[in-house]
Amino acid sequence: MKENAIVIDFKDNVATALHPLGKKDPVRVEVDGETIEILLTQDIPVGHKFALQTIPQGQAVIKYGEAIGLTIQPILRGEHVHVHNVESRKGRGDRQ
């Protein structure tokens, strides 16, 4: 099976799409030696992230084993994770 997403660090709560992924596609990713399957709830463009688990509002999005931002709304397992629902820890230039 072709790998279509990657998890960088076992602490990550998001995976990154290696190819465009479609809504309702089941995606298998390896996390710390264990394979998990996520059913996507939205289309995910190549290079974008999706949630491996539900991330409550105000919680850290973890990629590379580090917090890269905070959720501005709850993000459900399988949802697209991007600037519409995450605020960078350094602030966003499109919001005042």
Please answer whether residues 69 and 61 qualify as being in contact, where contact means their C-beta atoms are separated by less than 8 angstroms.
Answer: yes
Which residue did the predictor score with more confidence, 88 or 29? 29
Q: Which domains does the chain have, with CATH numbers?
A: 5-88 (2.30.130.110)
Given a cut of 70, is residue 78 above it in pLDDT?
yes
pLDDT of residue 91: 58
Q: Label residue 3 by pLDDT band (50, 70, 90).
A: confident
The structure tokens listed for 54 are 């539900």
DSSP class of 44: B
Q: Is-above-0.85 flag for pTM?
A: yes
> Among 27, 65, 74, 69, which residue's Cα sits nearest to residue 46?
27
CA within 13 Å, CB half, 95: 10
For the stretch 31-62, pLDDT in tens is 988 999 999 999 999 999 999 999 999 999 99
